[in-house]
Amino acid sequence: MLTQTILNGQEITYTLKRCKRKSIGLRIDNHGLSISVPLQTSLPNVETILQEKADWITKKLEHWRNKKNLVLTWTHDAVYPLFGEPWQIAMSASGGLQMTRQSGQEAEYESGSAHLMPELAPRQIEQFVMAWYHQQAIACFKQRITVYAQKLNVRHPPFRLSRAKTRWGSCNSRGVIHLNWRLIQMPLYLVDYIVAHELSHLIEMNHSPTFWKQVESVYPNYWMARKELKEYG
């Protein structure tokens, strides 16, 4: 259930979940604050915990508010970022759907002129946009892997698109690279950092000083990219 409290002078709405557990758990993510408590926990007891953790809670909530949002909505006028640039759905001259890049107040169309959009269900929009994203991601990631494999003098590894919620990339013990499709929404230099990072694991399967020197050899100032990635939710 949704409940409200005041923490450090801020009105905070949180989700209270009662379940079969022995301890109280706090979770903060892009959905806000949620609290899981044992079935018999009283509201005053919950409030006491919240006040004790007020500084931590408000700091974490502010952190999430400042994250760059990559959550998509499936509407005609929604903006879909590609390499950090805004794109939208439009109708081509031939009557098919196409993606158009927004430039200032006007859209740049890939071909033909704009036509009125038909009524599309959210599911139709999602399917079209996701197919476009996946096509862009596969082409981009394949090309960037080729570039950094040559720089690192490693073989071109197989790669897969990932839908992981908390990881941008990974490299398993078989040398298969997994890259989160959402990377395609970010500027290319952030894609390059993740690619350089994961391909460096083909040489060093750890995060030792030697590993970071390997990353730095092909991606100087990698720490700046790491810091910026933390701004994305």
Q: First CA to last CA across the chain, in angstroms?
A: 24
Q: Where are the alpha helices (DSSP H) in the chain?
A: 43-52, 54-65, 122-152, 188-200, 209-218, 222-229
Is the pLDDT at 169 greater than 90? The verdict is yes
Tell me what pLDDT residue 188 has.
95
> In CATH, what class is 133-229?
alpha beta
- Check whether 116 has a pLDDT greater than 90: no
Range with the poorest average pLDDT among 28-42, 112-126, 148-162, 198-212: 112-126
Mean pLDDT of the chain, nearest integer: 87
Q: Say whether pLDDT at 68 is over 90.
A: no
Under a CB-based contact definition with an 8 Å cutoff, are residues 102 and 113 in contact?
A: no
Give me the percent of the chain exceeding a pLDDT of 70: 88
Stretch(es) of the chain classified as CATH 3.30.2010.10: 133-229
pLDDT value at residue 142: 97
Report whether 183 contacts 168 (CB < 8 A). yes
pLDDT of residue 92: 79
Please check the confidence at residue 113 and state whether its pLDDT lies above 60.
no
Starting at the edge strand found earlier in the chain, the sheet holding 97-103 runs 80-82, 85-91, 97-103, 106-108
Q: How far apart are CA 189 and CA 37, in angstroms?
A: 43
**What pLDDT does 71 receive?**
80
Backbone angles phi and psi of 69, in degrees to 5? -85, 125
DSSP bridge pairs for 177: 159, 171
pLDDT > 60? residue 19: yes
Rounded (5°) CA angle 204-210-215: 75
pLDDT at position 105 over 70: no
Helix (H, G, I), strand (E, B) or coil at 163: coil
Question: Which among 147, 158, 136, 141 is positioned nearest to 202, based on CA atoms?
Answer: 158
Split at pLDDT 50, 70, 90, the class of 66 is low
Q: At what angle do helices 188-200 and 222-229 cross, to 10 degrees?
A: 110
One DSSP character per residue, 100-138 reads: EEEETTEEE-SSS--BPPPP--HHHHHHHHHHHHHHHHH
What are 133's two structure tokens? 């994203």
**Residue 172 C-alpha from the chain's centroid:** 21
Q: Is the pLDDT of residue 104 over 50?
A: no
Indicate the pLDDT class of residue 124, thresholds 50, 70 and 90.
Answer: very high
Burial 172-185 (b: 16+ CB within 10 A, else e): eeeeebbbbbbbbb
CA dihedral 79, 82, 85, 86 (to 10 degrees): -10
Mean pLDDT of 71-84: 89
Q: Is 31 helix (H, G, I), strand (E, B) or coil?
A: coil
pLDDT (0 to 100) of residue 232: 77
Give me the residues paired with residue 88 across strands: 100
Per-residue model confidence as pLDDT tens digits over 181-209: 999 999 999 999 999 999 999 999 999 99
